[in-house]
Amino acid sequence: MVLRLAVLCGGRSGEHEVSLQSAYGIFNALDRKRFEPLLVAIDKEGVWRMGDADSLLLDPRDPERIRLAAGSPAVVPTLLDGRCRLLSTEDGKRLAELDAVLPIIHGTDGEDGALQGLLQLLDVPYVGADVTGSVLGMDKDVGKRLLAMADLPVAPYRAFRGRAEAEAAFEDLSQSLGLPLFVKPANLGSSVGVTRAGDRAEYLAAVAEAFAFGEKIVVEQAVPGREVECSVLGSPYSEKYPPAASRVGEIRPRDGFYSYRAKYLDPEGAELIVPADLPPEVEERVRELSLRVFDVMECDGMARVDFFVRDNGGVLVNELNTLPGFTPISMYPKLWEASGLSYTELLTRLVELALERAGRRGKLRREFDLGGAR
């Protein structure tokens, strides 16, 4: 049976174009014997549109110019007759039925639980973490608190909800955490709004930049060492596909830190070494910690876990990404390719996990007996 699979991309966050890049790669790599892919994109005004990669995306191979074509059919998702359907906003006509959704909307309203909640209300199987895992993975402050409570090694940091409080804390932070500092919005990914601050002036500018993107920020200690990443695939609830960790890859940024441009726009912005040249015991430690982080953070389906490896071999957890990039230079699929699972096989596995979860949840009771009260 061929499944109608919506690759859902775009969104109103600062990572809109990255999402389009990921969707383009996924759309072309899906196994056509298993799936009939449909590209569904949310434009920057929040309108849902549908089409295929050729009609919906312009300049898809250019990361700096990729965009949605104007005038593509506008649709609205709804649950109708027990199926998730896309209806035309123009005349209400049923345009497509969806068997499953592969959401690849990065950032705000895409990987923070908002979209996952909508997909659950639409009763359609979807790839990746559910609402709980998405919320925990997106909030760097709450996530680090959970990891620390589970005795997992994280770098020292502080969280701030007010700009004035954050600005006034510079002297304390520079003494307790040292310089430079990394200042980040607490609820964004992909280095959006992230700044490296080496003095007071840079710090104040970094705080202003981070608060422009969110109501809470984190200030982290700079950790000297190597940046490595590990991909996790599977579900703690699946007997067939329990969580498994990939080989470990290393990122060597060319400008000092792994910026948004280095990740997605500049092919020369960083060197990706897959697999990383690490002592076997250090790689095994990273893979073991990845599975523990995946469990503590209530992940499901997939996640990429980022680490720092110190010169003495010590390992610190940096952060978790529950909806990692799938662009041609993204680490998540590259690590699985190095582990023996092709890009196409990886996508098939992710959809299978989504269908498994939907099947399990479909058997759960939604009502209970009030002892004759109903």
Q: Which structural domain range is residue 194 located in?
A: 156-221
Q: Which of 126, 143, 167 is the last residue of a domain?
A: 126
Looking at the fold, whether 256 and 314 belong to one and the same domain comes out as yes
Instruction: Identify which has the larger pLDDT, 262 or 244.
Output: 244
Looking at the fold, whether 180 and 251 belong to one and the same domain comes out as no
**Domain CATH number, residue 289:** 3.30.470.20
Looking at the fold, whether 24 and 93 belong to one and the same domain comes out as yes
Cα 133 to Cα 153: distance, rounded to the nearest angstrom: 20
Cα 128 to Cα 146: distance, rounded to the nearest angstrom: 20
Structure confidence at residue 264 (pLDDT): 55
When the pLDDT of each residue in the chain is averaged and rounded to a whole number, the result is 93
**Domain CATH number, residue 99:** 3.40.50.20
Q: Based on the structure, what is the number of domains in the chain?
A: 3
SS3 138: helix
Cα 36 to Cα 201: distance, rounded to the nearest angstrom: 53
Looking at the fold, whether 357 and 229 belong to one and the same domain comes out as yes
Structure confidence at residue 10 (pLDDT): 96
Confidence band for 258, pLDDT divided at 50, 70 and 90: low
Q: Which of 108, 126, 144 is the last residue of a domain?
A: 126
Looking at the fold, whether 216 and 232 belong to one and the same domain comes out as no
**Domain CATH number, residue 167:** 3.30.1490.20
Query: Does 186 map to a domain?
Result: yes
- Which amino acid does the sequence have at 87? L
* CA–centroid distance for 248 within its chain: 18
Cα 65 to Cα 265: distance, rounded to the nearest angstrom: 10
Question: For a pLDDT cut of 70, what percent of the chain falls above it?
Answer: 94
Q: What angle (nearest 5°) sits at the alpha carbon of residue 11, between those of residues 182 and 83?
A: 135
Q: Is the pLDDT of residue 261 over 60?
A: no
Give first-to-last CA distance, the chain, whole Å: 41
What would the mean pLDDT of 106-130 be, rounded to a whole number?
95
Q: Do residues 137 and 322 touch, judged by C-beta distance below 8 A?
A: yes
Q: Do residues 187 and 216 touch, judged by C-beta distance below 8 A?
A: yes
Looking at the fold, whether 217 and 342 belong to one and the same domain comes out as no
Looking at the fold, whether 113 and 214 belong to one and the same domain comes out as no
Instruction: Identify which has the larger pLDDT, 331 or 13.
Output: 331
What would the mean pLDDT of 338-366 be, rounded to a whole number?
95
Query: Does 232 map to a domain?
Result: yes
Looking at the fold, whether 88 and 217 belong to one and the same domain comes out as no
Looking at the fold, whether 10 and 111 belong to one and the same domain comes out as yes
Q: Which of 187, 221, 255 is the last residue of a domain?
A: 221
Query: Does 93 map to a domain?
Result: yes
Q: What angle (nearest 5°) sits at the alpha carbon of residue 156, between those of residues 166 and 208?
A: 25
Looking at the fold, whether 24 and 118 belong to one and the same domain comes out as yes
Q: Are strands 157-160 and 217-221 parallel, antiparallel or unpaired?
A: antiparallel
DSSP string, 318-367: EEEESS---STT-HHHHHHHHTT--HHHHHHHHHHHHHHHHHHHHTS---
Looking at the fold, whether 349 and 258 belong to one and the same domain comes out as yes
Looking at the fold, whether 26 and 105 belong to one and the same domain comes out as yes
